[in-house]
């Protein structure tokens, strides 16, 4: 494979990446442009709908459906409703699994196995249970119920791979495009993630996983900003709709900003 595209996570900020992909598609840039797609969390969802040729459905998910019932608040605490998310991708805006499986491109998604602090990479275009894998991509302690795959518990790959630049298949690829949901120079606050692990969790394995999240994420961002083999598309400023956003207007604004960034990327490179 000569080229790859890597997708960040970021919760509801994934709408920004959906906007980028929508602009790509409108300008004739198809998923097959990249032989390898690697995504974490929200990025995995964006990539799946891009590869299956369903970006219109994907945009509706971000702008219409996720703002209605995916995130709820109880006692000032957010919760993800994975059962509602499953209904969205299987009934409301069903992902075309046949097209996904027959794609010319590979889609690798990242998952975190608690206790090991290691990233598990799954080929979504080949796996037998892609819906369950996608749901596991959004499963997080203190935000949702855990997801079981083949009898093993997995969580969002963003805890160890956000963005997922550590996938071994990327090592030999020089042309790497990265979609990020934060501006250049942004870094996760390690103290905040360590505090969250102490306050919100009781299981030692989960505490250790969450406490190291910022360290892993910042190491990836440092690498991307140093390595000239990465071509980055990212917002100039913090996105108006944050990772827990449920405001449809802000979600649509994220999409528009993604389209604008993609348009600049295409013009600058004469694509």
Per-residue CA distances from 155 to 60, 120, 210 (Å): 25, 10, 11
**CA atoms of 97 and 167, how far apart (whole Å):** 23
Residue 100 has pLDDT above 90, yes or no: yes
- Predicted confidence at residue 108, as pLDDT, reads 98
**Which pLDDT tens digit goes with each residue over 229-257?**
999 999 999 999 999 999 999 999 999 99
**Which pLDDT tens digit goes with each residue over 198-232?**
998 899 999 999 999 999 999 999 999 999 999 99
Question: Whole-model pTM?
Answer: 0.96
Phi, psi angle pair for 141, to nearest 5°? -60, 140
Question: For all residues of the chain together, what is the average pLDDT?
Answer: 95
- Contact partners, residue 37, CB within 8 Å, separation at least 6: 4, 5, 6, 7, 31, 47, 50, 51, 105, 106, 107, 108
Confidence band for 50, pLDDT divided at 50, 70 and 90:
very high
- Predicted confidence at residue 75, as pLDDT, reads 83
- Predicted confidence at residue 138, as pLDDT, reads 93
């Amino acid at each position: 494979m000569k080229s790859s595209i890597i997708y960040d996570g970021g919760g509801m900020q994934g709408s920004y990446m959906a906007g980028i992909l929508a602009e790509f598609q409108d300008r004739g840039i198809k998923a097959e442009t990249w032989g390898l797609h690697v995504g974490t969390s929200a990025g995995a969802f964006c990539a799946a709908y891009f590869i299956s040729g369903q970006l219109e459905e994907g945009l509706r998910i971000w702008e219409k459906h996720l703002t209605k019932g995916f995130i709820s608040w109880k006692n000032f605490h957010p919760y993800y409703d994975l059962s509602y998310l499953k209904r969205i991708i299987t009934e409301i805006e069903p992902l075309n699994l046949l097209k996904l499986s027959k794609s010319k491109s590979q889609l690798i998604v990242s998952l975190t196995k608690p206790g090991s602090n290691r990233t598990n990479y799954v080929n979504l275009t080949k796996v037998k249970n892609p819906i369950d894998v996608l749901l596991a991509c959004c499963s997080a302690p203190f935000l949702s119920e855990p997801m079981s795959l083949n009898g093993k518990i997995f969580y969002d790959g963003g805890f160890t791979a956000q963005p997922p630049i550590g996938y071994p298949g990327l090592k030999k690829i020089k042309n790497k495009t990265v979609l990020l949901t934060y501006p250049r120079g942004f870094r996760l606050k390690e103290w905040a993630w360590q505090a969250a692990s102490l306050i919100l969790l009781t299981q030692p394995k989960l505490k250790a996983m969450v406490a190291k999240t910022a360290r892993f994420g910042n190491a990836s961002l440092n690498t991307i900003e140093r390595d000239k083999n990465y071509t980055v598309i990212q917002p100039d400023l913090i996105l108006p709709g944050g990772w827990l956003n449920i405001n449809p207007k802000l979600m649509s604004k994220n999409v528009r900003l993604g389209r604008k960034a993609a348009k600049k990327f295409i013009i600058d490179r004469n694509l």
